[in-house]
Amino acid sequence: MSKKKLKKILIPNRGEIAVRIQRTCRELNIPTVAVFSDPDRYALHVRYADEAFPLNGSLPQETYLNQEKIFAIAKKSGADAIHPGYGFLSENAGFVKNCRERGITFIGPPPEAIEAMGLKTKAREIMLKAGVPVVPGSEPIENTESAQAEADKTGYPVLLKASAGGGGKGMRLVEKPENLKPAFEACRREAQSAFGDPRVYLEKYLEKPRHVEFQVLADSHGHVIHLYERECSIQRRHQKIIEETPSPVLDENMRRKMGEVAVEAARVCGYVNAGTVEFLVDKDRNFYFLEMNTRLQVEHPITEMITGVDLVEQQIRIAEGEPLIHETIPRRGAALECRIYAEDPANNFLPSPGLIKALTNPGGPGVRNDSGVYSGYIIPMEYDPMISKLVTYGENREQAINRMLRALEEYYLLGIHTNISYLRKIISHPQFASGDYHTHFIANYQDQLSDSGSKHNDSIALAAAVILSFLRSEQQTAGRQQGQPEHTSAWKLCGRKRSMGL
C-alpha cells in the first residue's frame, strides 16, 4: 500500500465519539467535516468541527445511516477520508466497498475482514481452522428440532445467539429443554428485526464467565500487535457499563497467551487497522474466542491511558499507509471507564432525554471525560442515551478506583436523570473492589445496587448547580464592569475558521 497523506476527514457520527475523533484530527492539523440530524443541529460535535452539513431528518435510517447523503456531503466538502467511529456505519462492509469505489479512504478495516468477522458463525469457523479456542457450539440452526438436538449434544444451559448479532440483541439463555422452543422463536424474531437476518446458532453457556478483550492494531505491511487487555465483565443486559485495565483475573503468563491468540486471530482474517478480539474466561481460567469487533471500541480510552498511544491517531496513520512501530509498547498503571447515561435507574433504566439545565464536569489528577454534551444542550430521544465516558488513571488499581469515586462525586447534571449514583454503588461494592467478579455481577447484586439514594443525589446536584450559577453570574458581572463581552462565541472558542453547510 502506497503512502497517502489525508487532507480532510468526514465523520458520519455524533456525540462524544465524533468529538473525540475531531480532537485527534485537530492535533494532526487535518480538517474535519461533521454531519448532523435535525435533533443534533446544536450538538457539540457540530460546534467543534471545521465544517458541518445537515442530513435533514431525525431517524438514523434517514440521517447517519443514509449513505447517499453522506457521500454527497463528502463530495461537496472535498473530504478524501471517512472515520466512522463506532455504531452506525462502522461495521457495514457495503459502505466500505462504496468508499473504495469512490476513491475515499475508509479509516478502518477492509470489507473482507468486516464480512468475515461480522457473521458470528463464520468467525467461529475461521478461528477453529486457525486453532483458536472457541466456546463449544453449533452452526446456524434452521428449526426447533435441530436446536433441541444441538442443545442435547452440548448440554444445558445453552445460549441462543443471532448469527449477525451484537450488543446483546438476539440472545436468549435457555436453562431447561422445555424453554428452548419459545426462546428459539423469540431469538429469530429479534434477530430479524435488529439485523435483518433471522439466523441463530447455539453456544454452551459458561457459568460465572469473565469478559476480557484485547486491543489489536494491524498495518497494511503485515504487522500485527496487541496493546493488552480490557476487563468488561460489569454488564447490564449484556451491555458493558464499566471497563478496566489490566484485568484482575490475568497473570503475565495468561496475558501473554491471550495476546498471542488475539494477534493470530487478527492475522488469519487479513485484518488492517484497529480492532478488538473478545474472549470469555471460565471459572477455571480457560479462555475462548467470543467475537471480533472490527472498529474502535467505546472503551478504547483506558488502553490509551495505560500505553500513552492515541488509537485514533494510529488508525489514521495506518489508513495513510504508515507502518506500525514494531517494538513492544510498555504499559503502566491502571485505568477505569464508566459509561455515563441519561437514564433513570429507579425506573428500569428508562432513557431520560431533555434539557441539561446545569453541568459540572469532574477534573483533577488522572481524570478524563470524553463528553458530547454541555450545559444548555438538549439530549434527543432518537439516539443512544450515552452522555460521556468518564475515565480515571492511577499508578495502581486502588488509586484508579479512588479517583473514579471522586470523579463520580464531582459529576453533576441537572435537568435529567443519570446512572451516576448507580455506577458509584458498583465501584464501591466490596466484590468489585476485590476484583473477583464476573458477568453476572449486576444480576447477583441488583437489590444492593437499586438507586434509592437518587433523590438525595438530585438535591446535592441542585445545590451545586445553584452555587455554580451564582458564581458564573458574579463572574459575568465583574467582566461587564471591566468592559469585557458578556458572551464568547462557541465558534471563536474553537480557534478556527469554520463553515456551516446550511
Nearest Cα to Cα of residue 335 among 371, 307, 372, 297: 307
- Confidence at 193, pLDDT banded by 50, 70, 90: confident
For 136-204, CATH gives 3.30.1490.20
- For every residue of 372-384, DSSP letters joined together read ---TTPEEPSSS-
pLDDT of residue 478: 53
Q: How confident is the model at residue 285 (pLDDT cuts 50, 70, 90)?
A: very high
Better pLDDT: 460 or 207: 207
Tell me the mean pLDDT in the region 317-338: 92
* Assigned CATH class of 210-454: alpha beta
> What is the spatial distance between Cα 214 and Cα 258, in angstroms, rounded to a whole number?
8
Please name the residue ranges forming H helices in 382-494.
397-410, 420-428, 430-434, 441-444, 446-449, 454-481, 490-494
pLDDT tens digit sequence for 130-160? 888 898 888 889 899 999 999 999 999 999 9
Q: Report the distance separating Cα 43 and Cα 342, nearest Å.
A: 15
DSSP structural state of residue 137: B
Taking the C-alpha atoms of residue 400 and residue 320, their distance in angstroms, rounded to an integer, is 35
Q: What is the pLDDT of residue 295?
A: 96
Q: What is the pLDDT of residue 222?
A: 93
Contacts of 496 (CB under 8 A, 6+ apart): 50
Is 462's pLDDT higher than 60? no
CB within 8 A of 160, min separation 6: which ones? 147, 171, 172, 174, 183, 184, 187, 200, 201, 202
Residues counted in the chain:
502
Q: Which of 146-150, 169-173, 215-219, 466-470 has the highest mean pLDDT?
A: 215-219
**Residue that wins the pLDDT comparison between 207 and 88:** 88
Report which of 292, 340, 332 is spatially closest to residue 309, judged by C-alpha positions.
Answer: 332
Q: Which CATH number fits domain 9-107: 3.90.1150.10, 3.40.50.20, 3.40.50.12590, 3.30.1330.60?
A: 3.40.50.20
Gap between the Cα atoms of 369 and 388, Å rounded? 7
- What is the pLDDT averaged over residues 421-437? 97
Give the global pTM: 0.86
pLDDT band for 497, please (50, 70, 90 cuts). very low
Identify whether the C-beta of residue 14 lies closer than 8 Å to the C-beta of residue 25.
Answer: no
Confidence class for position 454, pLDDT limits 50, 70, 90: very low
Catalytic residue among 295, 331, 339, 403: 295
Per-residue pLDDT averaged across 40-47, rounded? 97
20-27 CB contacts, 8 Å cutoff, 24+ apart: 20/312, 20/370, 21/83, 21/85, 21/312, 22/48, 22/49, 23/48, 24/310, 24/312, 24/313, 24/316, 25/316, 27/310, 27/313
Q: What are the sequence ranges of the domains in the chain? A: 9-107, 136-204, 210-454
How much is the pLDDT for 456? 45
pLDDT for the residue numbered 71: 98
Average pLDDT over the chain, rounded to an integer: 90
- Res. 484: pLDDT tops 80: no
The whole-number pLDDT of residue 498 equals: 52
pLDDT higher than 70, residue 496: no
Taking the C-alpha atoms of residue 339 and residue 241, their distance in angstroms, rounded to an integer, is: 5
Cell numbers that stand for 204 in this block: 454452551
Cell of 63: 440521517
pLDDT at 501 over 60: no
Q: Report pLDDT digits (tens) over 381-410.
A: 999 999 999 999 999 999 999 999 999 999
Confidence band for 51, pLDDT divided at 50, 70 and 90: very high
Those residues with Cβ within 8 angstroms of residue 367's Cβ, 6 or more apart along the chain or in another chain: 390, 391, 392, 403, 407
* Fold matches, 9-107 and 210-454: no
Contact 379, 356 (CB under 8 A): yes
Given a cut of 80, whether residue 452 has pLDDT beyond it is: no
Task: State how far the Cα of 203 lies from the Cα of 63, in Å rounded to an integer.
Answer: 36
Q: What is the mean pLDDT of residues 280-306?
A: 95
The identity of residue 144, as a single letter, is T
Separation of CA 282 from chain center: 24
pLDDT at 197 over 80: yes
- Residue-level pLDDT at 453: 45
At 366, is the secondary structure helix, strand, or coil? Answer: coil
Active site residue 480: no
Query: 454 and 345 in contact (C-beta within 8 Å)?
Result: yes
Task: Specify the range with the lowest mean pLDDT, choosing from 75-79, 185-189, 305-309, 465-469.
Answer: 465-469
pLDDT tops 70 at residue 494: no
Q: Do the beta carbons of residue 227 and residue 325 sit within 8 Å?
A: no
The model's pLDDT over 257-277, given as tens digits with 9 standing for 90+, comes to 999 999 999 999 999 999 999
pLDDT > 80? residue 464:
no
First-to-final CA distance of the chain: 37
Q: Which residues contact 235 (CB under 8 A, 6 or more apart)?
A: 168, 211, 241, 439, 442
Closest CA to 388 of 17, 92, 126: 17
pLDDT at 487: 34
Side chain identity, residue 490: A
**353, 2 contact by CB (below 8 A):** no
